[in-house]
Amino acid sequence: MSLNLEQYVSEFTAQNINGEHLLQLDGSKLKALGMTSSQDRAIIKKKLKEMKASLEKARKAQEKMEKQREKLRKKEQEQLQRKSKKMDKSSSDATEGTNEQ
């Protein structure tokens, strides 16, 4: 509707075309849905291309954030392990000192 192509809404709705399905449509599928105007198909295909690029950009950003979180988790885990080893060593050193006396 934002593209002024309201005339196709009823057919898209009747064919259960949702956002996910919409991204899979190409020129021939659009034509089969009753979109006979090549100009209208061109508008839709251009917008779909923009949407796919935007989705890909968002997916890459999400992956980057997940990698950063994982890296941070590993770093925190390593710090906890080092801290634990230091505490174990101090505890064993104190125990050895008591045993020697």
Per-residue model confidence as pLDDT tens digits over 87-96: 877 777 666 6
Rounded-to-integer distance, Cα 70 and Cα 7, Å:
48
- The answer to the question of residue 97 being in a domain is no
Q: Which amino acid is at 50?
A: E
- The answer to the question of residue 31 being in a domain is yes
CB 11 within 8 A of CB 34: yes
- The answer to the question of residue 78 being in a domain is yes
Question: Helix (H, G, I), strand (E, B), or coil: what is residue 53?
Answer: helix
- The answer to the question of residue 98 being in a domain is no
Q: Which domain holds residue 25?
A: 7-88
Rounded-to-integer distance, Cα 1 and Cα 12, Å:
12
Digit-coded pLDDT (tens) for 19-73: 888 889 999 999 999 999 999 999 999 999 999 999 999 999 999 999 999 999 9
The tally of domains found in the chain comes to 1
- The answer to the question of residue 38 being in a domain is yes
- Global pTM? 0.62
